[in-house]
Amino acid sequence: MDRYVAIHAKPNGPGDARTTAEQVLADEELAGKWQDRTVLITGATSGLGMEIARVLHKTGAKIFITSRQQAKGDEVAQAISSENPAFHPVEAIEMPMDSFESVRKVAAVFPSKGSKLDVLLLNAGVMAAPEGRTKDGSEIHFGTNYLAHFLLFQLPKPSLLQASKSGLHSRVVILSSGAHKSNGVHPDNYNLEGDYNPYMAYAQSKTANIYMANESNRRFSKMGSMHCPSTQALSLILRLLVTKVVVILCVTTWPRRETTSVHGPSRFRKAPPHQFLLLRRGPWKVKEGCIWKTARCQSRRLRVALLIIKVMLLTHMMRVWRQSFGKIACVWSGS
């Protein structure tokens, strides 16, 4: 993955020099190399999910996609399959994510298709929806983006573990978002009753996705059986699937959020080294990579500004700690 670091240093919007999924596929020489692997992708009838399915189909893998409506899923599956007629045709499965019953139904019939499961890509989701509930009574974002995917991961887990082998582990990729930085998880009020905001509801679900990815990775990567990254960019999804590096990512220009185990603090923010500002009395230092540059605060206003920033950072850290303590254990209770 190091080869891509430089071109991501200064992103310049759509069409810039950053890698595409197809470029990663070519770099890793994966075209036609996954004909013995099976991939299940949720929410793959549009956007990122459809592009993931289209590019991964070029590997020769057997691709299953889920959709809210069977007709739409069949249409997308046929379009993708026509690009690579020599490979397994893409198969669509109807699975509305607002119903646990539909998730259980798909998990029950999937083994009958005669396929093991090597890669599970949890991509489906809703964003900024009006206040509502799933068929099971959960807040629509939390139920669709997190709870349904959590269930879909748990049910076929034995198949994922069985498919894993030395040097070619199973993968569970969970799509998150930079929006996670806006809100934590509220175990005392998952539905945000009396305090609903569609963007905060979405952010809560994306934070829960990261909790799920981190804890899953801790539970199974140590067994050498499964890696469970969380990410936001398509080219990185492809890289996570083909590399042996265990990483937890939420791709964003902002500091990313990670979690520790259920026995420790549940969340902290981590920024790249060049975003760290070390504040000290008198001289101050900015860390750029591994090079330390020193300067002296000559301006009284600057010293006051730095002091204010220091107080704000400490206040923020305390707020995040108070909001987050013990939440992973609540999110994972009963698992």
Per-domain residue ranges for the chain?
2-258, 270-324
Sorting pLDDT into bands at 50, 70 and 90, what band is 312? confident
> Are 20 and 95 within 8 A, CB to CB?
no
- Encoded tokens for 333: 């209770």
* 271 or 107, greater pLDDT: 107
Task: Spot the catalytic one: 58, 62, 206, 327.
Answer: 206
Q: Is 202 a catalytic residue?
A: yes
The residue among 209, 176, 198 whose CA lies nearest residue 128 is 198
Sorting pLDDT into bands at 50, 70 and 90, what band is 36? very high
Q: What 3-state class would DSSP assign to 293?
A: strand
Rg (CA), the chain: 22
Sorting pLDDT into bands at 50, 70 and 90, what band is 281? very low
Q: How far, CA to CA in Å, does 217 sit from each of 65, 178, 221, 225?
A: 24, 20, 5, 10
For 215-253, the pLDDT digits (tens) are 888 888 766 556 565 554 444 455 455 443 322 222 222
φ, ψ of residue 30 in degrees (nearest 5) = -100, -5
Distance between CA atoms of 102 and 84, rounded to whole angstroms? 30
Whole-model pTM? 0.69
- Encoded tokens for 134: 């799933």
Query: Tokens 């991939």, residue?
Result: 39
Residue 41's DSSP bridge partners are: 65, 121
Could you list the beta-strand ranges (E) of the chain.
Answer: 38-41, 62-67, 91-94, 119-122, 170-175, 226-227, 230-231, 256-258, 268-270, 277-278, 283-288, 291-296
pLDDT at 322: 61
For residues 17-42, give the mean pLDDT.
90
In terms of Cβ atoms closer than 10 Å to its own Cβ (0-12, 13-18, 19+), residue 277 is middle
pLDDT higher than threshold 60 for residue 329:
no
Q: How far, CA to CA in Å, does 133 sit from each of 21, 128, 139, 229, 324?
A: 35, 13, 5, 28, 25
For residues 103-113, give the mean pLDDT.
90
pLDDT higher than threshold 60 for residue 155:
yes
Q: Is 176 a catalytic residue?
A: yes
b/e sequence 46-57, b meaning 16+ C-beta within 10 Å: eebbbbbbbbbb
* CATH number, domain 2-258: 3.40.50.720
Task: Spot the catalytic one: 115, 138, 164, 176.
Answer: 176
b/e sequence 106-122, b meaning 16+ C-beta within 10 Å: bbeebeeeebbbbbbbb
pLDDT higher than threshold 60 for residue 293:
no
* Interacting residues of 79 by C-beta distance below 8 A, sequence separation 6+: none
- The kind and range of the H/E element at 75 are helix 70-83
